[in-house]
Structure 1
Amino acid sequence: MVRAGVAAALPALAGIALGHSAVAATATLGAFAVVYGEGRAYRVRWRVVSIAAAALVFLAGVGAAVGASVHAAAAVGNSALGNSALWATVLVLTMTLVVAVCAFVVDGLRLGAPGAFLPLLTVEIASSLPALGVSTTEVLAWTASGAASALLVSMSGVVVRRRTPERAAVAGAVAAVAAAHSDSSSPTSRRDAVRALHAAWQCLHDAALVGRDHPLTRTLHAAHLRCAAMVDGRNVDHASDTDDLRPQVPLPRPSIRYRLGRAAHPRGRSWTIVARLLVACPAAGLLALSLDVGRPDWAVITAAMILHQGPDRVLGTYRGLHRFFGTVLGLGLLAVLATLDLTAAALVLVVALLMAGTEAFLVRNYGVAMVFITPLALIVGSLGTQMDLGVVTRDRLLETLLGVAVALVVLWIVLPRSHRRILRDADEQVAHTIGRIADTRDPVAVAELCHDLEFDLHASTTAAITAAHTDPAWTRTLWPEHHHLHELGYRTLAWHLGPSM
């Protein structure tokens, strides 16, 4: 949380000191990259943040270029540049393409939150800056400065305490297991403990500590065994994250190539997400344009953020409610800030605090995160200039309502039985990988296939949870077959991998 605020504040304050106060807040767009490094070992964090930073700089340039065209078209009406509505449609379609590609990659790699949200938000904010007189070159330069700040800030602790991310991950997992033990009847606490354990193991894998006799590895393994003993035999009649916790230490993620290859399967969940985005985002944006509401991009980003995290219709509906009520509260916070006569430096500090709040809650509670995201996007998108709060509030609420309504309609009507296809596909892939392991004699190939199988088992569990939320009666009929296959998969891993430590 502190890193997110500092990464946004440093380049912006430097810009103000150099006399560029009007555009310095644009550095926030590149500073978003710091969020993608949180919880990762320093050994891989620099690479993750660098890739995210490069993507954000590129997307800021795309957004600014399209926004400049929209602004130019709006300025001349129906002249040679064409109708401004046509160029606004180009912005809507650009945002749709960006979020579809980003959502596919994020879901395919199973990167989790914030997912495609920050890349799309970068495009959306950057597209509004040319109307304020900011050139595409300036947008790129300031976004790059924020990206550089994100990399430096995210790696700042490596010299002093290079194991801090691993220590924090292990401590969090141990605490989650202890909480689950103290409240053993709570499915939520057990689920949180399993998720914390998996996250901690991946952090130690990234740090190349798994397989070594290291205190952190020993501590995490002891907590892992306590939790595995606690969840053993539970949840035998429905899908749960606890299905994926066995005494064996989780394996590292399979290769990027394998994960994206699995996502490319047309029956999988990633294409379902993309298909819904390709319907909802243009529909929300074009509906906003037809109603002559000022910012169709807001409707697009609202619809996209409800749909991009997965095909679960129940969770998607909750995200829609979080989006709306969080936006209302965020507009209230913006109204309070608007009553203050803030200097440029004070405004940068406010942006930094909003950035920190966004990072703190984006994974934990989307509704609360929206309270920070709404004023952050509006302040950076207006470069702190005076806004007509009445118009902004009206347009933002209307666009949010449109986006939420369109997203929920698409969520429940487009591909309504996709959860069945996704679960069948996931189980078929598990069976296929088990068969390949049985037919393979090369130990190196078997080890690689075991990585793939564990990933496939996780995907199968996720698919079963989504199906159970959406269609519990149908899922119960498939449960015995699914559960048997799941158990066979983990017995296969135990047979070939043996004791984990």
Structure 2
Amino acid sequence: MPLVVSDIPRAWRCRIVPHIRRFLHLSPSPGAWLQGTLTTAPMAASLLLITVFADTHPGAMALFGSLISLWNTNQSLRSRLRRYAAVAPIFPASMALGVWVGPIPWLAISTEALVIFLMAVGYHVFFVGPGPGPIHLFYACAVGTYLGGSTDIGWPIVAVTAVSTALTAVLSLSDLLVRGHHAERKAVAAARAAVHAFLHAAAEEGESRAHHEQRIRRLRTAATAAVDHAASVLGSARSPRARPGPVRHQLGQELHRLDGLLGAGALTRDCPGATAQVGSAPHPGPLGQPSARYLLRRTFGRDPVRLPVLVGLRCACAGLAAGTLALVLHVGHAYWAVLSATIVLHGGLDRNSTVLRAAHRLAGTVAGVLVVSAVEPLQPPAAVHISIIIVSVWGMNLFLPRNYALAASFITVMTLQANIAITSVDATPHLVGQRLLATLIGVAAALVVLVCTGRRMPRRTTQRLLIRTLRATTEVLDHAAAGTSFTEDGWKARRDLRFELLACADLLPRLGADDRNLGQCQDLVDGVQQQAHAALAAGWHAEPDQLDTATRSEEIRSLLDRLPGQRTSAHTPTRGRRIRGNVR
């Protein structure tokens, strides 16, 4: 008798159905078609050019160097040039390292694990904002270990990767010749929409006060993030000492105005009747991303947020375990197991999202293997192989932000086609079987490492994030009370507080998903975020002497006392004293 949905107990349906919906969910991604096409175009052009001037076999392997096109999309010309100059040498260099150690399997696996750890930690420390993840920084090393250990074309492919990386980087800049200041205009437009959404909502009266305040806080955080992102885009578009051109000057002035409107609107809500110092204040504008030194100290200094180290250790341990098991089981492409493990973990997501990513990886691999198994018996010509790779690249870029299972299916077709190009069609059944086994080993290793590590990290990281936010809050309040909010140091203090506030908004939901007990601290988190927003608003106060620093100090001390294991000073500063003495 066939099983129907109604036969499943209701309790089980309530548990299973949400997971199925998450698995099948297509995340909204406005403009994904255009962005996917713009990213794919230089990759496809590089692939075709190298195929024409070299051969189909090395041309297909040019795919790995062309992945640099995924870096720094929607950024200015200068920002892309600087990022490409930093990242492009890593691709051929890491592949050369892999080719060099490839003939010694155990040394190859150990080297991969070390490279994975260093690249994952470095990426998550210094790369702020959405990006492709650290996978591309060590992907070439893993591929190189296979080329050096199992083929005799390792060094020619290193040369092809170097040419492909440079060529794709140059071609990726070509769209800026047509679209000019598109990245800067788009960022300022997003900031304008976010600030106006906050101001419009702040002027409304909500039907439920608690719900309305929560919505206002969310919109204020979104507006702060949008202004900071626009500041980073504009700031990276020119040298700090260079004078901006007319377009960037106009966009900078508008961003300054939007930042002032955001500050004045926030001050009006927090301090009714207060006057905001906007038009008359010296206004160098928001300073965007903190310095590299600040980011480094944030991970390894006082009250460190060690999530980058945890992600790096997880990726390295899972890659080492998966690679070792693949070698023991004589899987010909052991690097596939290593990459499958690290691809699941490299994003630093919460446990539920990581398990979902593992399921997507398995499902996408199976789907991709089925496609390749259906196509290869037809023995398509070389031109069709390259065409399939290009279509797969476009599918990957289109679906990566929407559903990873669909993206993984295109990734599987893409990588198998590249491998078939340097082996033979006759090896396809064996290659397909190895791909499935290696993926299964990698995903299993990733899940085991995920379960066994980082149990205490959510609570510790939450505590340190809140402490860092409160410390940055006191810095801003000190400048506001001293009337130095509009000095260079005052702007930098606001920049650092904005960064910590946005880091809380990004990381705390993930940490809460890993430790349900953190839900009991939600009122504490709300209090810290409210104090941070109030401090940012106080920085715009035209009359600093009217700030009630004693009350703010008491509120911050109260929040600190509620953090386990924290000490506060014995005294309560009165007006005129520095609030920073309250945070040790």
- For the superposition of Structure 1 and Structure 2, which TM-score range results when normalised by the shorter chain? 0.7 to 0.9
Question: Any unmatched runs of 5+ in structure 1?
Answer: 70-86, 234-248
2:460 corresponds to? 421
Q: Tell me the CA shift for residue 325 of structure 1.
A: 0.8
In 2 relative to 1, CA 128–296 (structure 1 residues): closer, same or farther, beyond 3 Å?
A: closer
State which of 91, 104, 107 in structure 2 corresponds to 1:56. Answer: 91
- Asked if 1 retains the 8 angstrom alpha-carbon contact of 2:134 and 2:346, the reply is yes
Q: Does 1:101 align with 2:136?
A: no
Q: Which amino acid aligns with 1:51?
A: A
CA–CA separation in structure 2 for the residues paired with 1:4 and 1:314:
30
Q: Which amino acid aligns with 1:151?
A: A
**SS of residue in 2 equivalent to 1:253:** coil
Q: How does 1:61-80 map to 2 (within 5 A)?
A: 61-67=96-102, 69=103
More moved, 407-416 vs 11-20: 11-20
**SS of residue in 2 equivalent to 1:158:** helix
Q: Which amino acid aligns with 1:495?
A: A
1:445 corresponds to? 489
**SS of residue in 2 equivalent to 1:309:** coil
In 2 relative to 1, CA 106–169 (structure 1 residues): closer, same or farther, beyond 3 Å?
A: same
Q: Does 1:459 align with 2:520?
A: no
More moved, 449-458 vs 334-343: 334-343
Q: Tell me the CA shift for residue 200 of structure 1.
A: 5.2
In 2 relative to 1, CA 402–428 (structure 1 residues): closer, same or farther, beyond 3 Å?
A: same
In 2 relative to 1, CA 168–462 (structure 1 residues): closer, same or farther, beyond 3 Å?
A: closer
1:120-166: per-residue Cα shift (whole Å, max 9, x none)? Answer: 32222233334664444312221111112222111112333312233
Q: Tell me the CA shift for residue 61 of structure 1.
A: 1.4
**SS of residue in 2 equivalent to 1:23:** helix
CA–CA separation in structure 1 for the residues paired with 2:429 and 2:190:
44
Q: How does 1:406-417 map to 2 (within 5 A)?
A: 406-417=445-456
Q: Which amino acid aligns with 1:433?
A: A
1:291-333: per-residue Cα shift (whole Å, max 9, x none)? Answer: 3333322221111111111151121111111111111112122
CA–CA separation in structure 2 for the residues paired with 1:166 and 1:387:
51
In 2 relative to 1, CA 192–283 (structure 1 residues): closer, same or farther, beyond 3 Å?
A: farther
More moved, 281-290 vs 333-342: 333-342
- Asked if 2 retains the 8 angstrom alpha-carbon contact of 1:313 and 1:411, the reply is yes
**SS of residue in 1 equivalent to 2:89:** helix
CA–CA separation in structure 2 for the residues paired with 1:174 and 1:484:
27
CA–CA separation in structure 2 for the residues paired with 1:406 and 1:114:
22
Q: How does 1:345-364 map to 2 (within 5 A)?
A: 345-364=383-402
- Asked if 2 retains the 8 angstrom alpha-carbon contact of 1:27 and 1:143, the reply is yes
Q: Which amino acid aligns with 2:299?
A: A
1:145 corresponds to? 163
1:35 corresponds to? 70
- Asked if 2 retains the 8 angstrom alpha-carbon contact of 1:298 and 1:400, the reply is yes
Aligned residues: 461
Q: Does 1:380 align with 2:424?
A: no
Q: Tell me the CA shift for residue 251 of structure 1.
A: 5.0
1:72 corresponds to? none
Q: Tell me the CA shift for residue 35 of structure 1.
A: 0.8
1:438-468: per-residue Cα shift (whole Å, max 9, x none)? Answer: 5566732232222122111122223321222
CA–CA separation in structure 2 for the residues paired with 1:32 and 1:224:
39
CA–CA separation in structure 2 for the residues paired with 1:438 and 1:257:
23
CA–CA separation in structure 1 for the residues paired with 2:295 and 2:62:
32
In 2 relative to 1, CA 418–128 (structure 1 residues): closer, same or farther, beyond 3 Å?
A: same
Structure number with greater Rg is: 2
Q: How does 1:12-23 map to 2 (within 5 A)?
A: 12-23=47-58
Question: Any unmatched runs of 5+ in structure 2?
Answer: 1-35, 201-205, 239-243, 270-284, 543-584
1:489 corresponds to? 532
CA–CA separation in structure 1 for the residues paired with 2:382 and 2:220:
45
Q: Which amino acid aligns with 2:165?
A: A
CA–CA separation in structure 1 for the residues paired with 2:518 and 2:331:
42
- Asked if 1 retains the 8 angstrom alpha-carbon contact of 2:50 and 2:164, the reply is no
In 2 relative to 1, CA 433–350 (structure 1 residues): closer, same or farther, beyond 3 Å?
A: same
- Asked if 2 retains the 8 angstrom alpha-carbon contact of 1:283 and 1:406, the reply is yes
Q: Does 1:399 align with 2:428?
A: no
Which structure has more relative contact order (CA 8 Å, sep 6+)? It is 1
More moved, 364-373 vs 9-18: 9-18
- Asked if 1 retains the 8 angstrom alpha-carbon contact of 2:62 and 2:161, the reply is yes
CA–CA separation in structure 2 for the residues paired with 1:192 and 1:296:
44
State which of 172, 176, 180 in structure 2 corresponds to 1:162. Answer: 180
1:313 corresponds to? 351
In 2 relative to 1, CA 179–305 (structure 1 residues): closer, same or farther, beyond 3 Å?
A: farther
- Asked if 2 retains the 8 angstrom alpha-carbon contact of 1:34 and 1:49, the reply is no
Q: Does 1:8 align with 2:25?
A: no
CA–CA separation in structure 2 for the residues paired with 1:60 and 1:132:
14
- Asked if 2 retains the 8 angstrom alpha-carbon contact of 1:114 and 1:363, the reply is no
CA–CA separation in structure 2 for the residues paired with 1:225 and 1:358:
40
In 2 relative to 1, CA 383–263 (structure 1 residues): closer, same or farther, beyond 3 Å?
A: farther
Q: Tell me the CA shift for residue 190 of structure 1.
A: 7.9
State which of 233, 241, 260 in structure 2 corresponds to 1:203. Answer: 233
1:156-215: per-residue Cα shift (whole Å, max 9, x none)? Answer: 12333312233455667789999999xx99x9x989977777655643443468997736
In 2 relative to 1, CA 131–296 (structure 1 residues): closer, same or farther, beyond 3 Å?
A: closer
1:261 corresponds to? 297
CA–CA separation in structure 2 for the residues paired with 1:104 and 1:42:
26
CA–CA separation in structure 2 for the residues paired with 1:332 and 1:161:
40
CA–CA separation in structure 1 for the residues paired with 2:472 and 2:220:
26
CA–CA separation in structure 2 for the residues paired with 1:160 and 1:433:
42
Q: Tell me the CA shift for residue 267 of structure 1.
A: 4.8
2:138 corresponds to? 120
Q: Does 1:92 align with 2:127?
A: no
Identical counterparts, % of pairs: 27
CA–CA separation in structure 2 for the residues paired with 1:192 and 1:298:
40
- Asked if 1 retains the 8 angstrom alpha-carbon contact of 2:322 and 2:341, the reply is yes
In 2 relative to 1, CA 49–346 (structure 1 residues): closer, same or farther, beyond 3 Å?
A: farther
- Asked if 1 retains the 8 angstrom alpha-carbon contact of 2:101 and 2:148, the reply is no
Q: Which amino acid aligns with 2:146?
A: S
2:27 corresponds to? none
Q: How does 1:154-233 map to 2 (within 5 A)?
A: 154-169=172-187, 199=229, 202-207=232-237, 214=250, 218=254
Q: Which amino acid aligns with 1:392?
A: L
- Asked if 2 retains the 8 angstrom alpha-carbon contact of 1:50 and 1:151, the reply is no
